[in-house]
Amino acid sequence: MPARRRASFRIGVSGLGERQEIAPGVFINTVYRGCTPGFMVTDEGLILIDTPLIPKQAKDWREQIELEAPGRPILYVFNTDHHRGHALGNQYFLPTTVIAHERAFKEMSGYTENFKERVYNSFKREPDIQEQLTNIEIVLPDVTFTDSARLQYGGREMKLIYVGGHTPATSIAWLPEEKIAFVGDILWVDQHPYMAQADSLEWIDALRRIRSLGAEMLVPGHGPVCGPEDTEKVEEYIQYKRRRVLDYYRAGKTKNEAKSGLVGEMLELFPVPLERKAKIESQIKSGINRVYREIQREEEMASAQLGNGAFAPPAPATVLVREQSADPALMPGTATLPAPTIGQSEQNGGREVEQEAEL
Ligand SMILES: [Zn+2]
C-alpha cells in the first residue's frame, strides 16, 4: 500500500475536493493534484482554466462543473501551460475548444508514446493512480495565441495574457471585472517554483506585470488563493537563485558544482515535506542548471560587449532586475540565509537532471 501523503493543499493529494466559489460564477478546486483548476460560468457556456491530470479527479471536476451549471456547454478549456498537471486532463472535457499559447501547442505536439510512458512510470509508487493512466489521450490546443486573447461570452470577459517566465508558453487568465487573475505556475505559494524550463528574468518581469494588473485575488497554479503581494516571495527566491549562481559562475565553478553546492541552501528557502525531499532537490537542481545557462549567456554577452579588455570588471548580470534586498528576514521560509560563500564542490556524476513533472 503506497504511503498516503497528508501534506498541505494539493501536494500528493489524490482525493476529491469541493469546488469553491471565489466570485459570483467563478469556481476553483484547490485539492486536486498538479494544478488548481477553475471555471467561469457565463449565460452562453463555461470557460475552464486548466484540467486535472489524475483521471479520477478530472472526472470529478467535470461532475462538479455539470452540477453547478447543468446543460451548459464547455466553450473553452484554457491551459496556462503545457505541463502535465495543467493540460493532460483535457481529454475529460470534450467536446470543447482548447486554447493555449502557441508554444504550448508546439510542446504538446511532442507528447509521444514515450511521454505517456514517462507519465505512467512517474506514478510507480502510487499504483492506485498509475492504473488510471493507461489511456492517456493528448488533446492539443485547437486555438493558439501569441500575446493575448479576449474571450467575451454572456456579458463576461476573460483575457488570456502571455507572460512567459515559468515556461515559454506560460499565460495567465485575467478577469478584469472580478479583479481575479489565474496566474498558473508563475506563482507558487510557500513552495519551490519549478524552474526547469524557466527564463528567470522573464519570470521576474511576469511577476511585476501581475502586480500591476490591479488584481484583488490571485489563483496560483500551486498553493492557496492569495493576493498580489504574495508574488514578492517568488521574486525574491528567483533573485536569490540568480545571485548565488552568479557567485558560482564568477568563481569559475562549473554548472555541476553550482548544482551540488547550492541545492542545500536553496532547499531551506521553502518548507519541504520529508517524503518529497528527493524530488524537490532534483527539481531545484534542474532550476539551477537552467539559471546557470542563463547567467552564462548574460555574462558572455556582457564580456563580448566589453571587447577584449583583459581587465574588464565583472559584468553586472543582475543589473537588469531590481536589486535583491539584503535583509534576510525578507527571504521566504528562513530566518537566516546561508552565508554567501562558495562551498566545496561535490561530484554528482555530471548527470543532467532531466525535466520532470512539477507535481
Ligand atoms: Zn507548469
DSSP labels, 112-162: -HHHHHHHHHTTTT-HHHHTTTTS------SEEESSEEEEEETTEEEEEEE
Residue 197 Cα to ligand 1 middle (Å): 9
Same domain, 101 and 202: yes
Lowest-pLDDT range, 87-91, 161-165, 300-304?
300-304
Mean pLDDT, the chain, whole residue set? 85
In-domain check, residue 7:
no
Nearest CA to 73 out of 89, 95, 88, 58 is that of: 95
Same domain, 126 and 167: yes
Q: What is the pLDDT of residue 313?
A: 52
In-domain check, residue 337:
no
Same domain, 129 and 65: yes
Instruction: Find the mean pLDDT for residues 265-292.
Output: 94
CATH of the domain at 210: 3.60.15.10
Same domain, 186 and 255: no
Q: How far apart are CA 150 and CA 153, in angstroms?
A: 10
In-domain check, residue 344:
no
In-domain check, residue 178:
yes
Residue 83 Cα to ligand 1 middle (Å): 5
Residue 311 Cα to ligand 1 middle (Å): 42
Which residues surround the ion ligand 1 when the cut-off is CB under 5 Å? Answer: 81, 83, 185
Structural domain ending residue among the three candidates 226, 250, 268? 226
Same domain, 286 and 322: yes
Tens of pLDDT, residues 23-52: 999 999 999 999 999 999 999 999 999 999
Residue 49 Cα to ligand 1 middle (Å): 13
Q: What is the pLDDT of residue 323?
A: 34
In-domain check, residue 34:
yes
Same domain, 309 and 179: no
Same domain, 183 and 256: no
Beta-bridge partner residues of 143 = 99
C-alpha cell of residue 124: 510507480
In-domain check, residue 65:
yes
Instruction: Find the mean pLDDT for residues 48-76.
Output: 96
Instruction: Find the mean pLDDT for residues 201-224.
Output: 96
Cβ atoms of 49 and 182 within 8 Å: the answer is yes
Amino acid at 334: T
In-domain check, residue 75:
yes
Residue 70 Cα to ligand 1 middle (Å): 30
Same domain, 153 and 290: no
Residue 339 Cα to ligand 1 middle (Å): 31
Same domain, 289 and 317: yes
User: What percentage of the chain exceeds 70 in pLDDT?
Assistant: 81
Q: What is the pLDDT of residue 276?
A: 87
Same domain, 109 and 208: yes
User: How many residues belong to the chain?
Assistant: 359
Count of domains observed in the chain: 2
In-domain check, residue 127:
yes
Say which DSSP state 274 is in. G
Structural domain ending residue among the three candidates 226, 258, 280? 226
Provide the domain limits for residue 104. 20-226
Q: Strands (DSSP E) along the chain, which ranges?
A: 20-23, 26-28, 38-42, 45-49, 74-78, 97-101, 143-145, 148-153, 156-162, 171-175, 180-188, 217-222
Tens of pLDDT, residues 280-333: 999 999 999 999 999 999 999 999 988 765 555 554 444 333 333 333 333 333
Same domain, 76 and 197: yes
Residue 71 Cα to ligand 1 middle (Å): 31
Beta-bridge partner residues of 48 = 39, 77
Residue 167 Cα to ligand 1 middle (Å): 7
Residue 27 Cα to ligand 1 middle (Å): 20
Q: What is the pLDDT of residue 358?
A: 61
Residue 119 Cα to ligand 1 middle (Å): 15
Same domain, 212 and 247: no
The pTM assigned to this predicted structure is 0.82
